[in-house]
């Protein structure tokens, strides 16, 4: 396996990781921003107030995007396993 092939595989792996984690990270970011603005407006400075809404929003995001994330990861793993003989030989 050449160095270029290893770099291509690593690049593709990082790309898949970024693409599959982006929806949940964006949901968490948006909910955190909304809660932060709410805390600033109401002068409530409770640190634990952000955790429960973020956890619930990420859980809903997993319910919405979970099948797509699993499909993308599954297709990638199937492609890796089908090309396994190329990697070792």
- From residue 61, alpha-carbon distances to 12, 32, 43, 79, 88 in Å are 24, 14, 29, 26, 38
Res 89 pLDDT > 70: no
Query: Domain range for residue 57?
Result: 3-88
- From residue 89, alpha-carbon distances to 10, 68, 75 in Å are 18, 32, 22
Q: How far apart are CA 14 and CA 83, in angstroms?
A: 18
- What total number of domains does the chain contain? 1
Q: What is the pTM of this model?
A: 0.81
pLDDT tens digits, residue range 36-72? Answer: 999 889 888 887 888 999 999 999 999 999 999 999 9
């Amino acid at each position: 396996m050449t160095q270029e092939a290893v770099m291509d595989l690593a690049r593709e792996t990082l790309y898949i990781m970024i693409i599959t984690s982006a929806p949940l990270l964006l949901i968490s970011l948006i909910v955190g921003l909304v809660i932060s603005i709410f805390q600033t407006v109401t002068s409530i400075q409770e640190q634990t107030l952000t955790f429960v809404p973020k956890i619930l929003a990420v859980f809903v995001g997993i319910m919405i995007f979970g099948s797509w994330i699993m499909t993308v990861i599954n297709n990638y793993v199937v492609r890796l396993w089908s090309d396994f003989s190329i990697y070792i030989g």
